[in-house]
Amino acid sequence: MSVYHFGAVGDGVADDTDALQHALDAGDGVLDLEKGTYRITRPVVINTVENGYGGISGRSGASRIVMEGAGPAIRVVGNHNGTASPSTYKESTWQNERMPILEGFEILGRHPQAIGIELVKTTKTVISRVLVRECQIGIHLVERNRDFILSDSHLLNNSHFGLFFDRCNLHQIIVHGNHISWNGKAGIKSLDGDVHNLQITGNDIEYNNSPETDEGDGPLGAEIWFDARNGVISEVTIASNTIQATIQPGGANVRIWGNGKVDQYSNRLIAITGNVLGSQTRGIDMRDGGRITVTGNTIYDSQDLSVYFERCHGFSIGSNTFVWRSDPNAAQRDGLKFVDCSAGVLSGLQTEHLCYGSQEQGAGITLEGCQDITIGHCQVLDPLHCGIELRDSERCIVDGCTILDRKNPPTMVEAIRVVGGADNQVDRNFT
């Protein structure tokens, strides 16, 4: 039944909050938004526990909701306390709460604390072909959710986050085919919580940054920013995305931090593969993590470091390209640095014009306080000062690498530098 039957005006002037809520509560739980602009001042709630399953369907993007109040424009509420396993579902969940679908409309924020869509204890929610812009948060997941899919949508110019997992117990998430850009602090953010089995693939995620400095709670600005210092982020695939931005203080394309408990890393089982990353202060900033793979990426123009790993164990970084644009007038940038890391392999890397370090300390690829790291069959071409440095490291191997300075005039003072440490092996390199 048309929302106009329930009193909606859809002219962008009248307050249509009551009409939209009435249409949901009195109808069959599915809100059919015809073409128009629906101004609301408080959340419209899809309560699947009380009213049964429901959703919202717009008219091919021609339906707009303007949120002029604080909080979410659309809140979807369920009561699923189980996992993704069918055996944990109640029959009432299958009958009343299954798969809310939100599709085909725009949400425009007109309040500084407006949120686009909020999900609370839902299961199998699908958000598709939705545009959310100029809110504080585009899509907000809280408390507990399962089996969430976001596809073919645009989360743009929101003041804080495009997609935010806010201290949420959340498993089985697919984010694909979206444009998530120009959000003030992060495109995709996970804070604390318990997040597992997340696939981020085929998206354009860029220009998510804040020009302001940090206010004391860690760095601002990242395309993807997973903070698991008081939570868990696990089983994550970031693949086939364009992830790039503008240079900013403390910024990163991908930042994932764990809690440092080495018996069970809270940052674990991460695969970053087949992406294009660049134009940020750092490309990948990984801390306190385990079982990590970074392969097949193109990483360019990182003002500070292309890759920074700190206190990570059990990782493989292979077959990536790291190339500075090499404009002789451009700022010196790019490098790979590993601090207090162990049990890692760097293989098949192609690098050019890495500028990190100085004539005395630091190099294009730097290991500092590391153990059991192998650097094999890599190209380190035209580094500014030094190709590879092992500093205060143990049982590390540099084997079969090509380290050359082809610049005219050359600036590299050492191809491979070993300072301190013990039981390191350097063999069969072309310098």
Q: pLDDT tier at 82 (50, 70, 90 boundaries)?
A: confident
pLDDT tens, residue by residue, 11-52: 999 999 999 999 988 867 788 899 999 999 999 999 888 877
Instruction: Report how many helices (DSSP H) and strands (DSSP E) the chain contains, helices first.
Output: 3, 40
Which whole number is the average pLDDT over 137-153?
Answer: 97
In this structure, what CATH number is given to the domain that contains residue 21? 2.160.20.10
Which whole number is the average pLDDT over 101-112?
Answer: 97
361 inside domain: no
Which whole number is the average pLDDT over 65-93?
Answer: 88
Residue 217: predicted pLDDT = 56
Give the separation between CA 125 and CA 147, rounded to whole angstroms.
Answer: 7
User: Can you name the residues that pair with 196 across neighbouring β-strands?
Assistant: 171, 234
CB 278 within 8 A of CB 253: yes
308 inside domain: no
Residue whose structure tokens are 């693939």: 201
Residue 96: predicted pLDDT = 75
Q: Is the pLDDT of residue 166 over 70?
A: yes
366 inside domain: no
Q: What is the pTM of this model?
A: 0.95
Using CA atoms in the order 353, 355, 358, 362, what is the torsion angle rounded to 10 degrees? -100
| DSSP three-state, residue 93 | helix
6 inside domain: yes
Residue 237: name the closest of 282, 294, 312, 167 by CA. 294
Q: Is 423 left (phi over 0), alpha (psi -120 to 50) or beta?
A: left
Q: pLDDT tier at 326 (50, 70, 90 boundaries)?
A: low
Residue 283: predicted pLDDT = 96
Using CA atoms in the order 104, 108, 113, 119, what is the torsion angle rounded to 10 degrees? 0
| DSSP three-state, residue 54 | coil
132 inside domain: yes
pLDDT tens, residue by residue, 343-391: 999 999 999 999 999 999 999 999 999 999 999 999 999 999 999 999 9
Which whole number is the average pLDDT over 282-301?
Answer: 96
Residue 292: predicted pLDDT = 98
414 inside domain: no
Q: Which residues of 304-314 are buried (b: 16+ CB within 10 A; e: fewer)?
A: bbbbbbbbbbb
Q: Which residues of 40-79 are buried (b: 16+ CB within 10 A; e: fewer)?
A: bebbbbbbbeebebbbbbbeeeebbbbbbbeebbbbbbbb
| DSSP three-state, residue 316 | strand
pLDDT tens, residue by residue, 204-231: 999 998 666 555 555 668 999 999 999 9
The per-residue pLDDT of the chain, averaged, comes to: 92
238 inside domain: no
8 inside domain: yes
| DSSP three-state, residue 334 | coil
Residue 94: predicted pLDDT = 74
| DSSP three-state, residue 371 | strand
- At residue 91, φ and ψ (nearest 5 deg) are -60, -35
Q: Is the pLDDT of residue 328 over 80?
A: no
Residue 264: predicted pLDDT = 78
For the chain, the domain total comes to 1
Q: Which residues, 6 or more positions from 145, have their beta carbon under 8 angstroms from its beta carbon?
A: 119, 120, 121, 122, 123, 125, 168, 169, 170
Domain carrying residue 109 = 1-159
Q: pLDDT tier at 263 (50, 70, 90 boundaries)?
A: confident
